Amino acid sequence: MNTLVIGSQWGDEGKGKVIDFLTESADFVVRSQGGSNAGHTVIAHGKKYVLHLVPSGILWSGKVNVIGNGVVINPASLVEEIAYLRGLGVQISPENLLLSDRAHVVLPIHKLLDAAQEEALGANKIGTTKQGIGPTYADKVRRIGIRMADLSDPAHLREVLSARIVTANEELNRLGHPAADMQECLADVMQAADILRPHITDTIPVLNKAIRSGKNVLFEGAQGAMLDIDFGTYPFVTSSNTSAGGCCTGSGVPPTGIDKIIGVCKAYTTRVGSGPFVTEDADIADYLHGLGREFGATTGRPRRCGWADGVVLRFSAMFNGFDEMAMTNLDGLDACEEIKICTAYKLGDRTLDVPPALISDWEQCKPVYETLPGWKQDTTKCTSWDQLPANCRAYLKRFGEIIGCPVGSVGVGPDREQTITIPR
Ligand code: GDP
Ligand code: IMO
Ligand code: MG
């Protein structure tokens, strides 16, 4: 059984926790897009782990973790993350962490270009994670990128790196920024390359052979469907296909190799960075931040918060083909008197049940809400569907109806154990 887990909103839905829960029955855990812009939190054995590039399956022994061709890898960041995980007692070797030789490399100049491009946008900035993700994917599409395979021979690597640093410095100068130091940039990548070389391999036959021999593969999506370069709130998106299709192009596993697709959503909505957010609500933001929740896993930035957006989730379930939703953070609504779900958008006198393409239209959409009674009860100790309060069960059922996809599991706390499977 090969399962794909996708964020259905604007990222940070709790994919790390859901992946960790599903890893027990997986043999391989695969990342197929994004890069160190991701921050996936897993709480296990009383410890908190935040993963950026390394698949969350690394926290279980005996699993093979693959960073696929669609991911953009910053070698120095990956080396740092491996050291951080080893510091927490996690075993990492070339046997349990494989890096695709076709994955593109994030260079120090990409981070500088990311920051410079954001600055040039001024008030219209995307609010990127400044990890160099956009400029690296741009190089890939411009056919000037450097790939992990280029790390195999140091002399060749030095040559291609030097050439790209020269042209990037010209771009930086045009944006009014100082040039990057050639020797520092070279050292950053070359030193990390020496450490990562034993992990680099052709992961495509590895994954396809695994699938043919009946192994269970779990695909770990990063970001969320509304940050997808095609389907999201363009241009306020990331630079990869975060949706289901990106899993195939980013891993070399054909669509026929995927058996089940799970969308992850929060019981409400959050977003970091700029862009439309129709259900954004200052009261729910104050309430969640007051509980000490919804601060970024990587940057600590307070996340923007709002009610669940059924329009986004319905659209997301449609183009990703979700079989079911894994809802997280239900406990975040425990104290609410009333709970809202957006069922449609109003754009002038039109009613929309999926979002518009034009960003200026999306920004003007107003939510149409359905209001349900809260349950005003602590759910964090509940361990089964029957133990959840009746209003809570009604919310979950109605939520599934509005978005056209059933909720299959629900999280009532950040720990591995705090997940309830919902009977069909
Ligand atoms: P990801 O990027 O999708 O993996 O999500 P993040 O790790 O960035 O953010 C999700 C946050 O919600 C983390 O702090 C998790 O520990 C936390 N979390 C996940 N599921 C639950 C849940 O069911 N209840 C609570 N209280 N926290 C959760
Ligand atoms: P996980 O995997 C939330 C957002 C940034 C910004 C936009 C573009 O933890 O859910 P980028 O650096 O990718 O060019 O930034 O995308 N973004 C995320 N938001 N969770 C993430 O990952 C994100 N990765 C990127 O905030 O708005
Ligand atoms: Mg995150």
Q: Which residue matches tokens 């609410």?
A: 336
- Contact status, residue 175 vs residue 184, Cβ threshold 8 Å: no
Tell me what percent of the residues of the chain surpass a pLDDT of 90. 97
pLDDT of residue 145: 98
**How many other CB atoms are found less than 10 A from the CB of residue 129?**
26
pLDDT of residue 327: 98
Average pLDDT taken over every residue of the chain: 97
**104-196 shares the fold of 3-100+201-260:** no
Q: Is 286 annotated in the active site? A: no
Q: What does the domain layout of the chain look like in residue ranges?
A: 3-100+201-260, 104-196, 265-421
- Answer yes or no: is pLDDT of 47 > 80: yes
In degrees, to the nearest 5, what angle opens at C-alpha 328 toward C-alphas 323 and 332? 145
What is the enclosing helix (H) or strand (E) of 50?
A: strand 47-51
pLDDT of residue 301: 83
pLDDT of residue 296: 82
Mutate to test the pocket of ligand 1, among 272, 329, 382 (most ligand atoms within 8 A of CB): 329
**Nearest residue CA, atom 20 of ligand 2?**
11
The pair of three-digit structure tokens given for residue 241, joined into one six-digit string? 């296909």
Give the mean model confidence (pLDDT) for residues 19-48.
Answer: 95
Give the mean model confidence (pLDDT) for residues 347-375.
Answer: 98
Give the mean model confidence (pLDDT) for residues 40-68.
Answer: 95
**Choosing from 20, 27, 40, 194, which is the catalytic residue?**
40
Q: Which residue matches tokens 């949706």?
A: 243
pLDDT of residue 245: 96
- CA 315/CA 7 separation, integer angstroms: 13
Assign 404 a pLDDT band (cuts: 50, 70, 90). very high
The pair of three-digit structure tokens given for residue 380, joined into one six-digit string? 């964090």
- Answer yes or no: is pLDDT of 298 > 80: no
The pair of three-digit structure tokens given for residue 61, joined into one six-digit string? 């022994």
- CA 415/CA 382 separation, integer angstroms: 13
CATH node for 3-100+201-260? 3.40.440.10
Rg of the Cα trace of the chain?
A: 21
CATH-assigned architecture of domain 265-421: Alpha-Beta Complex (3.90)
CB-neighbour burial class of residue 127 (10 A; exposed 0-12, middle 13-18, buried 19+): middle
Q: Is 52 annotated in the active site? A: no
Which residue type does 101 have? Answer: D
- Helices 390-403 + 310-320 axis angle, to 10: 60
104-196: in CATH 1.10.300.10: yes
pLDDT of residue 416: 86
Give the mean model confidence (pLDDT) for residues 373-388.
Answer: 97
Q: What is the pLDDT of residues 110-119, one digit of tens each?
A: 999 999 999 9
**Which CA distances in Å does 112 have to 130, 178, 193, 296?**
8, 10, 20, 22
Distance 385 CA to ligand 2 centre (A): 33
Give the mean model confidence (pLDDT) for residues 220-235.
Answer: 98
Assign 300 a pLDDT band (cuts: 50, 70, 90). confident
Atom of ligand 1 nearest to the CA of 41: 7
- CA 192/CA 196 separation, integer angstroms: 6
Q: What is the pLDDT of residues 258-268, one digit of tens each?
A: 999 999 999 99
- CA 53/CA 242 separation, integer angstroms: 15
Give the mean model confidence (pLDDT) for residues 349-375.
Answer: 98
pLDDT of residue 45: 83
Assign 424 a pLDDT band (cuts: 50, 70, 90). confident
Q: What is the pLDDT of residues 170-199, one digit of tens each?
A: 999 999 999 999 999 999 999 999 999 999
Distance 21 CA to ligand 2 centre (A): 23
Residues pairing with 134 in the sheet:
none
Give the mean model confidence (pLDDT) for residues 51-75.
Answer: 97
131 lines ligand 2 (CB under 6 A): yes
- Answer yes or no: is pLDDT of 42 > 90: yes
Stated pTM of the model: 0.97
Task: Establish whether the linkage from the previous residue to 414 is cis, with ω within 30° of 0.
Answer: no
**Nearest residue CA, atom 25 of ligand 1?**
413
Mutate to test the pocket of ligand 2, among 13, 269, 272, 359 (most ligand atoms within 8 A of CB): 272
pLDDT of residue 316: 98
Q: Tell me the three-class secondary structure of 296-326, residue by residue.
A: CCCCCCECEEECEEHHHHHHHHHHHCCCEEE
Which residue type does 110 have? Answer: H
Among candidate residues 52, 15, 51, 16, the one with its CA nearest the CA of residue 36: 52
Distance 172 CA to ligand 2 centre (A): 23
Distance 293 CA to ligand 1 centre (A): 9
Q: What is the pLDDT of residues 117-174, one digit of tens each?
A: 999 999 999 999 999 999 999 999 999 999 999 999 999 999 999 999 999 999 999 9
- Answer yes or no: is pLDDT of 359 > 90: yes
- CA 326/CA 243 separation, integer angstroms: 16
